[in-house]
Chains A and B, each alone.
Chain A
Amino acid sequence: MADRNAPAVVLDWNARLSRRRLLACGLQLGGGLSMAAILAACSTSSNNGGQQSGAGGSPSVPTGTITMNNYPGWIGKTEISDFESQFSSASVKTKSEPTESIASDVLFFKQNPGDYDMGLEDQSAVGQMIASEVLQPIDFSNIPNIKYVDDTFRKSYSHGLPTDYGKVGVGYRKDIVTEGITSWQDIWNLAPTYSGQITFLNLDRDCMGSALKYLGYSGNSTTESELEACKNALTEIKPHLQALTNTNVAGGLVKGTVAIAMDWDFDMVAAQQKEPNIEWVIPSEGAVAYLEGWIAVKGTDNLPLVEAFMNFHADPKNYAGFVNNTGTAYVESAATPYVDEAISKNPILFPDQDVLARVEYEDYLGEATALWSKIWDEFKSA
């Protein structure tokens, strides 16, 4: 839990091992090579007993052990031990499986039934998990603290407890790009001027989703003609791109070798600490974002404990501990009094409602997943 009487916190954003960054690294390098190297020593388990107390009004005191699939460190510093202190016979084990995509997540759960009770998944993965019958529905009446989750996120995350999100926007050097940028159209217009100084994200959902927003379409479009238009727009700008990259995206902006970068909000926050001339915008046409949260995995034999943990996590003070430890954009306004001001007062991580209104969360594509993959390959091959 944040100590609000402590001196102003200087947050080391680079030390925060964000899920998106890991996912992106894994996808880029493929084969779990780097993911295995990074995550090999990171399995942690926690198996302590604790004091007995209920939280959030669960009808009975849960017992037993649950295993969660989570990225290392993507939890409050003392969250698990605090939970185990509140529930006498309950324990939470954390494992980090080096999966690199939604498909590999789902296949992993299918091939290892019963190994996990809960996991951290984004909304597009939730849809895939439902289709593949590996998602366990939960009883939201057992998670009364879900009332603290803002409606915007609650409505967009269908089958679990939303925990955090990350927006894809535009970072640029205002001392280099003196014209300023407010829209995706600006980037396409300025591309010839700043040719070779622009980077886009090397992820189909984020890159194509952004291009779809540029064209005025949904970032989750499954219409072939719209996806073809998306491919054409990306192919048009491709000659001016320096790189498609997921690693150290903001590094070029900091050094000045990149003038304009499509990037995630959490990355920009860290970059701005190093180079104040970096601006970050959510374009006027809109932006895509991932919205992730806790879900229960089918085959769990301890759903009450899973729901109890979710309820504990959603308590504003506990949730603030998670936000302070990860530095992520957060989904509970009620937690703001307990969140470090470096996060709560940062308009990138805690934007106004009119900015959030332009954000579309990435959702499950259904049978169009293969079409997206083909369009992405065609763009990369162009």
Chain B
Amino acid sequence: MRPRTLLLVPSLLWFTAFFVAPLVLVLIHSFGRMDLVTFEMRFDWNLQNYRNILDPIYFRTLLRSLALSTSTTILCALVGLPVAYFISRQNDRWQRGLLVLVIVPFWTSFVVRIYAMVNALENGGPIDTLARDLHLVSGRINVLYTPKAIAIGMLYSYLPLMVLPIYVALERIHPSVLDAASDLGANGWQLFRRVILPLAVPGLAAGAVIVGISATGEYVIPEILGGGKTLMLGNVIADQFLNVGDYPFGSAIAVSLLLVLTLLLLVGRGTQRMEAIT
């Protein structure tokens, strides 16, 4: 083995022990059965847990989680693209400062940030008070514990994960490319549609994967900002592991979610390859 290959060994060991092995354990558990009275586990390699997932309640929950993930990804892309473009067109010093501002929320605990959103969005909170003082609303804003609050919370939490990869893609665009397009007669919209957007696609794709996959398992934000009235797939998995103690069923749901996301990724990748060929 070449010496430089040996440099991979620590990472591979870590990856195997703390990523691959747990995944394999989850997969094995998904074929087991837990007696919820005695909490004795049996591994009889049956598919009952996967059959239970076909119950409409869990299927609807999966669709709901995918819908939330999709809408979050689209929202983050719509907001993140202009933000990333703006940052990429600044000089180095401003770029560094603006990127720090994008990353700063991650310096605080995720849960703390979401609870801060509760205070910000509640009736009588600062946003509500400001909106009424500015006569933007006649009554209360009534945002907290509604789907609007979930959307705001998701956007707030996941936007940096979209901005950064798009920024990396756009930052590589040399200003002369944009100048050339303008010189050839492209107006602002044509410049965006024919030059900037195509060059931003790799960043958008990376951001979509990062945001989409993370958001699919999200349940803390709907639980806190949505008032706990909506069941997400993450809730179900957490409930099975932490509340019911049915590890095999929780594992089966987790494996199913993993398979669905992997399938979507493969389909997306296949589509990209087809477009590249044509």
When the two chains form their complex, are residues A381 and B243 in contact, meaning their CB atoms are under 8 A apart? no
Which secondary structure characterizes the binding site on chain A? Answer: helix
User: Contact: A367 with B36, CB < 8 Å?
Assistant: yes
Contact B36 A241 (CB under 8 A): no
Q: Min CB distance, B220 to chain A, in Å?
A: 6
Interface residues of A in 122-179 (CB under 8 A from B): 131-133
Q: A27-B243, A30-B242 are in contact. Are A255 and B111 (CB under 8 A)?
A: no
Interface contact A30-B145, CB-CB below 8 Å? no
Which chain A residues in 243-276 approach chain B with CB under 8 Å?
243-245, 255-257
B interface residues, tally (CB under 8 Å) = 35
B245/A107 in contact, CB under 8 A? yes
Instruction: Name the residue on B nearest A105 (C-beta).
Output: B245
Contact A378 B57 (CB under 8 A): yes
**A241 pairs with B227, CB closer than 8 A:** yes
B238 with A131: CB separation less than 8 A: no
Give Cα A101–Cα B244 distance, bound, in whole angstroms.
Answer: 8
CB pair B37 A131 closer than 8 Å:
yes
Number of A-B contacts (CB under 8 A): 102
Which residues from chain B contact A380 at a C-beta distance below 8 Å? Answer: 228-231, 235
Q: Which residue in B220, B234, B236 is a CB contact (below 8 Å) of A377? A: B236
Asked if B170 is at the interface (CB within 8 A of a chain A CB), the reply is: no
- Taking a contact as CB atoms under 8 Å apart, the answer to whether B244 and A103 are in contact is yes
CA distance A244 to B122 in the complex (A): 15
Chain B residues whose CB sits within 8 angstroms of the CB of A32 once the complex forms: 242
**B219 near A132: Cβ-Cβ < 8 Å:** no
A133 contacts B111, C-beta separation under 8 Å: no
B123:A257 contact, CB within 8 angstroms: yes
Taking a contact as CB atoms under 8 Å apart, the answer to whether A103 and B245 are in contact is yes
Taking the closest CB of chain B, its distance from the CB of A344, in whole angstroms, is 35
In angstroms, how far is the closest chain A Cβ from the Cβ of B56?
9
CA distance A255 to B128 in the complex (A): 14
- A346-382 interface (Cβ within 8 A of B): 366-367, 369-370, 373-374, 377-378, 380-381
Alpha-carbon distance between A79 and B222 when the two chains are bound, in angstroms: 42
Q: How far is the CB of B264 from chain A (nearest CB, A)?
A: 22
The smallest C-beta distance from B55 to any residue of chain A, in angstroms, reads 8
- Known A-B contacts: A103-B244, A367-B37. Give 13 more (CB < 8 A): A29-B223, A101-B242, A101-B244, A103-B39, A106-B39, A107-B245, A131-B38, A241-B229, A370-B36, A373-B243, A377-B57, A381-B64, A381-B231
Query: Residues on B close to A: CB < 8 A?
Result: 36-39, 57, 60-61, 64, 109, 111, 122-124, 142, 145, 219-220, 223-224, 227-231, 234-236, 238-240, 242-246
Q: What are 22 residue pairs bridging A and B, where the CB atoms are less than 8 Å apart in the complex?
A: A28-B223, A30-B219, A30-B238, A33-B111, A101-B244, A103-B36, A103-B242, A104-B245, A132-B39, A133-B38, A245-B227, A245-B228, A256-B124, A369-B244, A370-B244, A373-B239, A377-B61, A380-B228, A380-B229, A380-B231, A381-B61, A381-B231
